[in-house]
């Protein structure tokens, strides 16, 4: 593995998000629509003609005829939710090749549109969600939380206190300082972009293994290109989008497969990076 630049996720303005979805629908031969507001699907009907469309929905009465005519309708009793700045709201998804769009909404009001572009995660999430929706494996699927910076930091620090292992990659320095104070584990590995004092402090205080100079991943937040870091713990994974010392948004995922998968991925990165300590 070498130094690379890679976009992993994005949060849009509503206008830009809707346009990004339309562009992806136009280019895609196969589309899966999950728990979406009907008015959105109706807006996309011209774009979906002639494509392989799969519609997942939990309406007992089924979808209206004009929408059902688009493709295959699959009923699922699983209710999809998301936590949006402290509120549990409806969440829908658009699956296209190598990309997932997440839409948080209440009724006909769209609250937020984001996307995941990192292929490793896209394929895993799509496979996992299909399995859950088709087998009715749970009543509510709510594994994704969008935090403001303050609440997100609290959630990270609380999870760190409970975790037996910590894997940090390219986190902002002020957050690293806070995480270091809360670590109660001897199983700590850090990948950072540079030989920072914070990385050495983690190494010295916690006998952590620290490597650097590997990844240059980034995200976009409403048109602004940001740095992107992550922290994988026993039961949680957090993605942190920031620029310098300023955090813009934190996304938390609570699902057993995600933290273990990202921990394994970070292990590969740690071995390939240049050792600092």
Span 104-160, pLDDT tens digits: 999 999 999 999 887 778 888 888 888 888 887 778 888 899 999 999 999 999 999
Q: Which helix (H) or strand (E) holds 228?
A: strand 224-232
Do residues 124 and 154 share a domain? no
Model confidence over 158-183: pLDDT tens digits? 999 999 988 888 888 889 889 988 88
What range defines the domain where residue 212 resides? Answer: 147-275
Please say which residue of 92, 117, 142 terminates a domain: 142
Predicted TM-score (pTM) of the model is: 0.86
Do residues 181 and 96 share a domain? no
Model confidence over 35-70: pLDDT tens digits? 999 999 999 999 999 999 999 998 888 999 999 999
Do residues 87 and 184 share a domain? no
Instruction: Identify whether 29 is part of a domain.
Output: yes
Closest to 186 measured CA to CA, from 218, 213, 209: 209
Instruction: Identify whether 11 is part of a domain.
Output: yes
Count of the separate structural domains present in the chain: 2
Do residues 110 and 200 share a domain? no
Model confidence over 237-272: pLDDT tens digits? 999 999 999 999 999 998 777 877 877 777 666 666
Establish how many alpha carbons lie within 13 A of residue 159's alpha carbon, considering only the half-sphere containing its beta carbon: 21
Model confidence over 180-231: pLDDT tens digits? 888 877 788 777 766 667 677 777 777 677 776 555 678 999 999 999 889 9
Please say which residue of 115, 142, 169 terminates a domain: 142
Q: What pLDDT was estimated at residue 194?
A: 64
Cα(141)–Cα(143) distance, integer angstroms? 6
Domain with 19 in it: what CATH number? 3.30.870.10
Ramachandran angles phi, psi of 46, nearest 5°: -60, -30
Cα(100)–Cα(116) distance, integer angstroms? 5
Instruction: Identify whether 112 is part of a domain.
Output: yes
Do residues 53 and 103 share a domain? yes
Instruction: Give the contacts of 116 (CB within 8 A, at least 6 positions apart).
Output: 8, 9, 99, 100, 102, 122, 125
Instruction: Identify whether 124 is part of a domain.
Output: yes
Do residues 167 and 223 share a domain? yes
């Amino acid at each position: 593995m070498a130094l690379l630049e890679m976009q992993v996720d994005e949060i849009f303005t509503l206008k830009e998000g809707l346009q990004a979805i339309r562009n992806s629908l136009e280019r895609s031969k196969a589309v899966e629509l999950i728990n979406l507001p009907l008015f959105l699907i109706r807006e996309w009907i011209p774009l979906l003609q002639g494509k392989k469309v799969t519609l997942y929905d939990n309406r007992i009465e089924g979808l209206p005829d004009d929408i059902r005519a688009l493709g295959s309708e699959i009923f699922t009793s699983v209710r999809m939710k998301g936590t949006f700045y402290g509120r549990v709201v409806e969440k829908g998804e658009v699956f296209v090749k190598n990309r997932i769009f997440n839409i948080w909404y209440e009724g006909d009001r769209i609250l937020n549109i984001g996307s995941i572009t990192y292929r490793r995660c896209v394929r895993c999430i799509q496979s996992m969600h299909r399995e859950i929706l088709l087998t009715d494996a749970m009543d509510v699927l709510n594994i994704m939380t969008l935090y403001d910076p303050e609440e997100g930091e609290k959630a990270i620090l609380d999870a760190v206190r409970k975790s037996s292992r910590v894997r940090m990659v390219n986190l902002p320095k002020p957050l690293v300082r806070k995480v270091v104070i809360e670590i109660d584990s001897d199983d700590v590995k850090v990948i950072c972009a540079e030989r920072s004092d914070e990385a050495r402090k983690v190494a010295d205080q916690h006998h952590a293994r620290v490597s650097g100079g590997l990844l240059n991943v980034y995200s976009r937040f409403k048109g602004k290109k940001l740095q992107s870091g992550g922290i994988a713990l026993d039961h949680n994974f957090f993605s942190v989008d920031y620029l310098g010392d300023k955090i813009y948004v934190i996304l938390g995922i609570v699902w057993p497969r995600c933290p273990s998968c990202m921990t394994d991925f970070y292990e590969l990165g740690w071995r390939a990076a240049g050792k600092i300590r």
